[in-house]
Amino acid sequence: MPELITDPRDPRVADFHDLHAGDRRPGTERGTGPVVVEGVTAVERLLTTGLRLRAVYGVPGRLAALDLPADVPAYEADKWVVSETVGFRLTRGVLASAERPATPDLDELLAGPDPTAPRRIAVLEGLNDHENIGSIGRSAVALGIDALLLDPTCADPYYRRSVRVSMGHLLTLPVRVLGDWPGDLERVRSAGYTTVAMTPAADAVDLASIDVTAHPRTALLLGAEGPGLSAAAQAAVDVRARIPMRSGVDSLGVAAAAAVAFSTLR
């Protein structure tokens, strides 16, 4: 049975204190601290990942909807206490915290379970919007992307808002930050991937012209909205590609462009 929480500052639910503060707990550095997941569907997905759960906290009705392992600490409170704990009105009714996924070895990640099988990976540069990363993660899982690589300047994909927007799918996708950027792109190419940089530039090739049969392993690079991919990243790839658009529209938001590109290269 869940334990009752009546004090919003109860240390038993410390993982959920003040979540409104920049989408990270106060005092934690980027890339540290527990993963916090919101909503019944996302928590159910978290339960399938094998990550160690630290705590589950929510209103009684939402907690009852979850099939929680007996060893997971579970706490319940009324909606006002929960909202005061997290620092905002929690409409999804339940949260869970878990240890972060282990960082996969890059070479093993690139090889995949079968080094001869076709693979698609996404590579992000300079994305500092949590919701864009979450949307891209959700599209990646839905549209056949096998892994997500980030340059060192990207926002943390395991921030609460990123995980929330992804509906928890980010927790099922292997994610690795590349320490040497854009130098590590050569390791991606050496692993047999055709590297494709997305850009609206007129001299880029039509993305649909890339033969996915001839290039069974593809790494798709996407840059932040506004600046796009850096010149250094574009110079390090095999091909620059664009999504054809109507006259007068030069680009899509990065999350929408990612979904279109993932689908095109399936």
Distance CA 216, CA 120 (A): 8
For residue 92, give Cα distances in angstroms to 83, 148, 246: 11, 27, 39
Q: Considering only CA atoms, which of 10, 238, 19 is closest in space to residue 130? A: 19
pLDDT at residue 31 in the model: 66
CA 101 centroid distance within chain = 12
Does residue 51 share a domain with residue 123?
no
Instruction: Please state whether beta strands 94-98 and 53-58 pair in parallel, antiparallel, or not at all (unpaired).
Output: antiparallel
Does residue 89 share a domain with residue 58?
yes
Does residue 76 share a domain with residue 188?
no
How confident is the model over 146-175, as a mean pLDDT?
95
pLDDT at residue 196 in the model: 98
What CATH number is associated with residue 170?
3.40.1280.10
| Domains held by the chain: number | 2
User: With 60 as the cut, is the pLDDT of residue 24 above it?
Assistant: no
Convert the pLDDT of each residue in 162-221 to its tens digit. 999 999 999 999 999 999 999 999 999 999 999 999 999 999 999 999 999 999 999 999
Strands of the sheet containing 53-58, edge to edge, are 3-4, 74-76, 53-58, 94-98, 35-38
Does residue 84 share a domain with residue 154?
no
Neighbouring CB atoms inside 10 A of 68's CB total 17
Global confidence as pTM: 0.92
Does residue 138 share a domain with residue 248?
yes
Percent of the chain's residues with pLDDT above 90: 83
Convert the pLDDT of each residue in 96-116 to its tens digit. 999 999 999 999 999 999 998
pLDDT at residue 250 in the model: 76
How confident is the model over 37-62, as a mean pLDDT?
94
User: With 70 as the cut, is the pLDDT of residue 29 above it?
Assistant: no
Domain finish residue from 48, 72, 98: 98
How confident is the model over 142-154, as a mean pLDDT?
96
Q: Is the bond leading into 118 cis (omega within 30 degrees of zero)?
A: no
Does residue 146 share a domain with residue 89?
no
Domain that holds residue 192: 106-264
Residue whose tokens read 């909205």 = 225
What are residue 97's phi and psi, to 5 degrees? -120, 145
User: With 80 as the cut, is the pLDDT of residue 140 above it?
Assistant: yes
pLDDT band at 30 (very low <50, low <70, confident <90, very high): low
User: With 80 as the cut, is the pLDDT of residue 132 above it?
Assistant: yes
